[in-house]
Amino acid sequence: MLLYVVSVVIIFTVYFLTKCLFKQEELSEKTSILAAKKDELNAASKQWKTRVEKADADKFSVAGRMEKLEKPVITINIPTPDKTKRTPKAKRFKGKDGDNKQPNSGSVSPDDLGIGLGFKRSISVPGSKTNEDSSGSDNSLRSSGRTVRVLKPDDDTFTSFFKTTEETKPVETFDFSLNDLDVIDSHKLLTTKKIVKVQRRREATKNPLRALATRSDIVDEYLEITTDLAERELKRLNVEKLSKSSSFALEALAGLASKEDFSSVLLKKCSQVPNSSYLPYKDLMLIHVKGRRHVQTRLVNPTSSSINQGDNYILITPNALYNYVGPYSNVIEQSRACDIVNHIQQTGDMGCKVDKTITINPKKNSSSSDLQKFWKLLKESEDVEVAGAGHPDEDEIYESSMLGTNMIYTIENNELVPVDEYWGKIPKIEMLQPSKVFVFDFGTEMYVWSGITASPDDKKKTLTLAKELWSEGYNYADCSVNPINISQMIGDRSKQEICMKSEERPEWALLAKLTQHRETILFREKFLDWPDYSRVIKVKQNVEKAETSSDINPCDAIKMMRTEQSEPDFQIDGTHLGRGNCYFDEESRRQYEISTLEVKCWNILENTYEELGDDSLGHFYDSETYVIRWQFRVTSTGRELSGKPSKYNQTGRDRCLYFCWLGSQATINEKGAAALLTVELDNENARQIRVPQGLEQPVFFRLFNGRMVTHIGKNDSIKERVHRLYMIRGEIEEEVSLVEVLCSMRSLRSRASFILINTEDGTVVVWHGCKSLDQTRNLTIKLAKLLVEQKSSHFGMEKCDCDSIEEIEEGQESAEFLKILGDKRLYMSLLLSSVEYKSTPRLFHFSSVLGSFTATEILCPHRSSYTTPYPFLQSDLYSANQPALFLLDNGHELWLWQGWWPEREDDDDLSEQTGSGRVRWQAERKAAMQTAIDYWNEKQTHLSVAIYSVWAGLEPLSFTNLFSTWCDRDDIAVLNMKTGKKAGEIISVENELAQLTRTTYPLAQLLQRPLPEGVDPRQLEIYLSPEEFTELLAMTPADFQKLPTWKQAAIKKDKGLF
């Protein structure tokens, strides 16, 4: 029975175990199926990445551009930084002496002599101590003193008398065994009431000597001040006694009475400029710009091996600035390099004074000469092979590695102490306190930075320690990179071992001294948050309403009348030549005499030149160009104390000038050939002066000693004209000249004298105008006699034998004279005028180009103290920017000359020009007319107003005869006639101003075109009467002004007032 039970149990056990195993296999199979399904889903979720193309931005990044090269994977030679940042060991630097001695300098300071100067810095200066006691001090006194030590109660004698003893405390010891515990008896404690007394603990009295020794506000020495007040007061009293009997000032007597011992003063040797070897730049510098987040700007070895295609570089010399843009450099590097070179170009930083920056970009076609100069500075040829770009992730590794090499020291107790806060980190601007001195060691660059209020002793000691630290070399064994030669590791280069320490730094490295607020851009780029004020967008201050075009006010007539005319002064290279003969310098009170040594003249032909002989010197033709060489000498003279001229003269060197004379009728090609041939003739590298016809200065006239003649046409056209008429120009004998004019009655002027030459029989006739001055008449007779004597071929008189001169007064002309010149009515005669013409006309040009309406006086180039009847030319009016306004003062009358609107190709009708330019032109006309009236009232208070207005091209004969010559401009006349002007019309300025200032017009005139003169086309509604305004717009002017601007414009467009 027992056996049966056991067998049944075994059978059930086996069955149960078999069933459990089957269930486990089934569960494991289901689990494996689910895992496989999960893996398939994960794989399917990632397959879309292979089907979708990369973003376009990645294609244009540095990594995307480098993928197109299909080069093998570029390795990064810079060790990847660990989690723990590797920086140099922070050690104090005591220097070679290590005994805290003061630096030895060439001069002896008061501190070295035991003299303390108790000068206190201003409280307003940052870094100064504010807790110093300044009571009772007099900064105006010159104080000196010595340091006196205060005796202490526990000095050497005190400690030697009272010997110190060791303090001993009694210590009890117990010796017992376990048997001794049997002796102890136990007793029952009795409960007794016990009164506990409160113990009031009192603090024990302190040792007064120790308490005194621990106090920090007690000093053991003080500065003894010696003011020497008594001695200086005694000296002052003695000087006052001397001044009573002397004519000298107190200061002069004090200086004479003082005794100075110069032997006790030690001066510095001035063999070289102080600190000239510590300039923050060198003659040749190559700056490396690399990074993404905090772009690193570092000085590297100026060789081609330092350059790679993945970064930017800046090459700096005193007279050249290059920006090398790597083909695979990122945008941040390019932008940072561009900002740096722009700063250097604009401010002249880093000792570089250049006008432009030369960009070297291998991706673009750069100038071959620029490339050759760039690589020549780096001691390489133009076909140098530059290292390839590095890995795209190299920039961030480079940044963190380079920042870990930064070492910053400060001065404490005559030692260089590391600044733990910024050691191996990027510096910040907040650390630069005005009273501090720092040493920044960036490997290839070491800067000694000093604040503006730092102690001079700290500056000297820091500079000395920095030089010693520099001479000991470098040690970057604890860092991952070496900033000295890291440029040989970056880029696509083969890996090589780099020296991490050395006993000396390379010659191209920089040891510099900097002062606060005078830092270079290379130093500023090392900081994280150096402010760049050039990028700050500031709020616009004092925003005022812009001045409208119609806000033009008349000029000051009183100021115009009182303007003094200065004498002509020809200046060349800072030398005043005056009129060409002498010049008196008011400032130095010296007289300069100018003497002519030699004058040569060349006639410029098409492609060559021909030197003129002595007989042709001074003869010019208005259709040709000439080059004149003037050799002169300047002698400085003075006067003796007696007032007589000094016999000692200072003779200067021989100098030379080239004048290029351009005829008024010469072509542009001829003028250009004259300029080119002038350069060819100039063998002395002298100054070249351009002289247009009619604008000659007195110094030019004096080259020919009053024998200059300007003929019409060319040299070969002399024989074509039988009769030739010349007008005299100039009032001084050495500066006078003859100008040929058309042989016509229209060329005659009543205030001038003329010479008429008959080339057939050699007859010379001198015609004098009725208002010509005696000076003009005399000079004309002298020139006529000179012509008869010389019989020059340029006048066609070489074969004539006539030696007589005939003089004719105006109004007494012979029939033959009138036959030669033509009708007598073609010129403006002054025979019937009772006005005395003894004044020189004046010309003013009105303009508002600079904003305000101003009047500028036009001066005659050859003006003198004599009266000049015709000082101006027609070109003075027509060569100005049009439309122009000129006021001509002829003494007894004023003329307002008004220009023309230049014709535009897209405008068939000039009257339709109603823009802002037209409005401003009308405003300028009003201001000019009002100025002319004010000018007349200030000048002629007792005469009636004689102010006339004329238009360009339509000038009357009475106006054109105020100029020496005049040529009608029909093309300009047509433009002004289109606007309704008439030829020869003379309009009173008062009447025209009244028309321009009219305030009310009928509606019909405002609707027609062209508009009346003086009407502002932008505000036609203001010219309506109140009744017409209300009838047309159905509202009052006040209601109309309350409407928005856009609604006003819409209403005006609807009514045709726009």
Q: Give the single-character DSSP code of 636.
A: E
Collapse the DSSP code of 315 into the 3-class scheme (helix H, G, I; strand E, B; otherwise coil) and give the result. Answer: strand
pLDDT at 117: 36
Residue 749 tokens, joined: 């002027």
Other Cβ atoms less than 10 A from the Cβ of 732: the count is: 18
Interior/surface letters 300-322, b for 16+ CB within 10 angstroms, e for the rest? bbbebebbbbbbbbbbbbeebbb
**How far is Cα 405 from Cα 171, in angstroms, rounded to an integer?**
59
Quick one: pLDDT band at residue 299, thresholds 50, 70, 90? very high
Q: What is the pLDDT of residue 506?
A: 94
Model confidence at 541: pLDDT above 60: no
- Looking at residue 130, what is its pLDDT? 40
Any bridge partners for residue 627, and if so which? 602, 660
- Flag whether 101 is in a domain: no
Average pLDDT of span 664-688: 81
Specify which of 355-369, 430-444, 756-770, 929-943 reaches the highest per-range mean pLDDT: 430-444
**What is the predicted pLDDT for the residue at 8?**
62
Q: What is the CATH number of the domain that holds 1015?
A: 1.10.950.10
pLDDT: which is higher, 532 or 712: 712
Q: Is residue 362 over pLDDT 80? A: yes
For residues 950 and 884, what is the distance between their CA atoms, to the nearest angstrom? 12
User: Is 884 a member of any domain?
Assistant: yes
Averaged confidence pLDDT in the chain: 79
pLDDT confidence band for 110 (50 / 70 / 90)? very low
Q: Which residues of 468-499 are buried (b: 16+ CB within 10 A; e: fewer)?
A: ebbeeebebeebbbbbbbbbbbbbbbeeeeee
- Provide the pLDDT for residue 58: 57
Query: Would you say residue 129 has pLDDT above 60?
Result: no
pLDDT in tens, 7-17: 666 776 766 66
**What pLDDT score was predicted for residue 61?**
63
Return the SS3 of 621.
Answer: strand
Q: Cα separation of 582 and 576, whole Å? A: 9
Top pLDDT among 897 and 54 is at 897
Of the pLDDT bands very low, low, confident and very high (cuts 50, 70, 90), residue 158 is low
pLDDT of residue 75: 73
Mean pLDDT of 684-707: 86
Contact (Cβ atoms closer than 8 angstroms) between residue 1004 and residue 996: no
Where helices occur in 273-420 by DSSP H, the ranges are 331-347, 368-377, 394-403
Report if residue 229 sits inside a domain.
Answer: no
| Whether 685 and 722 share a structural domain | no
Residue 929 lies in a domain: yes
What average pLDDT does the segment 211-235 reach?
75
- Greater confidence (866 vs 340) lies with 340
Beta-sheet strand order (sheet of 415-418) = 415-418, 407-412, 437-441, 445-450, 510-515
Same domain for 682 and 728? no
Confidence of residue 465 (pLDDT cuts 50, 70, 90): very high
The last residue of one of the domains, among 777, 799, 827, is 827
Identify the weakest region by mean pLDDT among 174-183, 288-297, 350-359: 174-183
Nearest to 756 by CA among 709, 807, 701: 807
pLDDT in tens, 980-989: 788 888 888 8
pLDDT tens-digit readout, 944-961: 778 899 999 888 888 888
Q: What is the dihedral of CA 207, 213, 217, 223, to 10 degrees?
A: 130
Q: What percent of the chain has pLDDT over 90?
A: 19
Mean pLDDT of 58-85: 64
The predicted structure's pLDDT at residue 194: 61
Max mean pLDDT among 390-404, 417-431, 702-716, 776-790 falls in 417-431
Contact in structure between 755 and 766 (CB atoms under 8 Å): yes
Owning domain of residue 10: 1-45
Domain count across the chain? 6
> Are residue 677 and residue 785 in the same domain, yes or no?
no
Least confident of 683-692, 874-883, 906-915: 906-915
Reported as a pLDDT band with limits 50, 70 and 90, residue 275 is low
CB 780 within 8 A of CB 790: no
My answer on whether 1016 and 1042 are in the same domain is yes
Q: Band the pLDDT of 135: cuts 50, 70, 90.
A: very low
CA atoms of 995 and 1014, how far apart (whole Å): 7
SS3 at position 553: coil
Contacts (Cβ under 8 Å, ≥6 apart) of 824: 745, 813, 818
* Neighbour count for residue 57 (Cβ, 10 Å): 8
Residue 448, CA atoms < 13 Å, CB-side half-sphere: 23
More confident position, 108 or 1026: 1026
**81 domain residue, yes or no:** no
Say whether both 821 and 848 belong to one domain.
no
744 lies in the same domain as 626 = no
Pair 624, 703 in one domain = yes
Contact 877, 918 (CB under 8 A): no
Residue 106 has pLDDT above 50, yes or no: no
What average pLDDT does range 71-80 have in this prediction?
70
The residue out of 962, 978, 997 marking a domain boundary is 997
Please give the C-alpha separations between residue 437 and each of 102, 419, 426, 462, 524, in angstroms, as whole numbers: 16, 12, 18, 7, 16
Do 982 and 1024 lie in one domain? The reply is no
Residue 272 pLDDT > 60, yes or no?
A: no
Do residue 925 and residue 868 come from a single domain?
A: yes
Using alpha carbons, list the distances in angstroms from residue 495 to 78, 394, 490, 796. Answer: 9, 14, 10, 93
Model confidence at 271: pLDDT above 60: no
**Higher-confidence position of 184 and 837:** 837
Same domain, 988 and 1046: no
Q: Give the predicted TM-score (pTM) of the model.
A: 0.51
Q: Please say whether the beta carbons of 818 and 824 come within 8 A.
A: yes
Output the domain CATH number for residue 365: 3.40.20.10
Q: Is residue 62 within a helix (H) or strand (E), and if so which, with residue range?
A: helix 62-67
Residue 302's pLDDT is 94
Q: Judge if 1028 and 1048 occupy the same domain.
A: yes
pLDDT of residue 415: 92
Give which of 774, 735, 740 is closest to 757, Cα–Cα: 740
Which one has a higher pLDDT value, 106 or 515?
A: 515
Q: Is the pLDDT of residue 694 over 80?
A: yes
Strand segments, DSSP code E, in 890-1021 are: 894-898, 947-951, 987-988
What kind and span of H or E run contains 511? Answer: strand 510-515
Residues 617 and 733 in one domain: no
Which pLDDT score is estimated for 968? 86
Closest to 871 measured CA to CA, from 853, 859, 883:
859
- Domain contains 181: no
Q: Which of 997, 1028, 1044 is the C-terminal boundary of a domain?
A: 997
Q: Which of the residue ranges 118-132, 151-165, 961-975 has the most confident prediction, judged by mean pLDDT?
A: 961-975
Residue 108 lies in a domain: no
Model pLDDT, residue 793 = 79
Band of the pLDDT at 571, cuts 50, 70, 90? confident
pLDDT in tens, 578-597: 888 888 877 777 788 888 88
- What pLDDT sits at residue 758? 84
Q: Tell me: the pLDDT tens digits for 597-644?
A: 889 898 888 778 888 888 888 899 888 899 899 888 888 876 666 666
Q: Give residue 403's pLDDT.
A: 92
pLDDT at 436 over 90: yes
In a domain, 702, yes or no: yes
Whether the predicted pLDDT of 445 surpasses 90: yes
pLDDT, one tens digit per residue, over 893-918 is: 899 999 888 876 554 444 444 456 77
Indicate whether 697 pLDDT > 80.
yes
Q: What is the pLDDT of residue 14?
A: 63
